[in-house]
Amino acid sequence: MSRGNVKRHVLEKSRGFKEKEKPNPSFLSRHLKKVYPFVLNKSTSSLSLSSLSLSLSQNSNDSPLADSISPLDQKTPLSLRRIVPPEKKEVPVPVAKNVQQHSLDSSGGDLKRCNWITKNSDKVYVLFHDEHWGVPVDEDNQLFELLSMAGMLMDYNWTEILKRKELLRETFAGFDPNTVAKMGEKEITEIASNKALMLAESRVRCIVDNAKCILKIVREYGSFSCFLWGYVNDTPIINRYRYPRHVPLRSPKSEAISRDLLKRGFRLVGPVIVYAFMQAAGMTIDHLVDCFRFSECASLAEMPLSRTSSMNMY
C-alpha cells in the first residue's frame, strides 16, 4: 500500500470511529422514556382528604392553589417539565401565597385571616372561621353537633353544611343525644326523604347510632365532654402554623380518639374526620399565626373549659 493510500485509510478509519461515538437519537429517546415516561398514570381515590379540613375544604375557585398554575403547566406532563425546565419566571409558591379577605373592623383596620379565606369565600364560611372555628367547646350537645357535621364532610364541604346548620339543629332536636337516640325507623325515613337536608338514610342512621354511643359514654365518664377532652388533658393544643401546607389532615391524637370511638361503635369517625372535628371544637388551634383569630383562640384556650363554652354560643 502506497504512503498516500495509508494516510487516506487512517483518516477514513478515524472518521468512522468518531461517527460511531455520536449518540443515536432514537436510542437515546427510547432510554429516556424508560426513565421519564411521558404518560402519567392518574391516581384516583374514593375520598378526597382535602375536603375534610376547614383550610382545604372549599372548591378550586375558593382556593389560592387554583390560580397559581398556568394553562401551559396544566397541559405539559410533569415528567417533561422535569427534563426541560420552563422559562424562568416569578411564580408564587401556591401554599404560601398571601391571599386574604379584607373587611373593616370597628377600628377601621383590615382583618388578616387564614389564607384559605378568600374573596370568593361564602359569608357563612367566613363567619364560622371568625366566630366559631377553634373556640373550645365542652358542652355535649355542641360536641355532638360538630362531630355530626364533621362526618358530613364525607359528602359536602363546610360551606354546604353550614348553610343547613339551623335545619339540622331543628331536625335533630338541637343534637340532644337523649332525643336523637330514641329516633325510630319512621323518623329516620322522614329525615332521609327531606330534600332540603340532602342526607342519605345511611348518614342519618350514623347520627342516630352515634347518639346511642354517646349515652353509653355519658354513663361511664359523666359526660361526652369529659371523655373527649381527657385526650388532651383538658387543654387545647395550640399549634403555630405559618402556612396552610403545615396544617395536617390528621394527628396522633385524632388517630387515638378515632380508634377508641370506633371500638365503642361510632361511625364516620376516621382520624381525618376526627381531626376536622377537633379543629372546629377548639381541641386543637390551627388558625395560622398571622390570622387575627389565632391570638384570640389561644387566649380562650388558656381559660377553664366551663368558661369558654358559654363564650362560644355556637
The response to whether 9 counts as a known ligand-binding position is: no
The response to whether 132 counts as a known ligand-binding position is: no
The response to whether 31 counts as a known ligand-binding position is: no
Handedness of CA 36, 41, 42, 46 (dihedral sign): negative
Residue 164's contacts (CB-CB under 8 Å, 6 or more residues apart) are 196, 197, 198
Q: Write b or e for each residue in 194-221: b if 16 or more Cβ atoms lie within 10 A of its Cβ, otherwise e.
A: eeebebeeebbbbbbbbbebbeebbeee
The response to whether 226 counts as a known ligand-binding position is: no
- Asked whether the beta carbons of 136 and 301 are under 8 A apart, the reply is yes
**How far apart are the C-alpha atoms of 122 and 120, rounded to whole Å?**
6
Vertex 56: Cα angle to 55 and 57 (nearest 5): 105
100, three cell numbers: 386574604
**How far apart are the C-alpha atoms of 118 and 64, rounded to whole Å?**
8
* Orientation of helix 305-312 relative to helix 292-301, angle to 10°: 140
Residues contributing to the annotated binding site for Zn(2+): 114, 129, 287, 291
Residues contributing to the annotated binding site: 114, 129, 287, 291
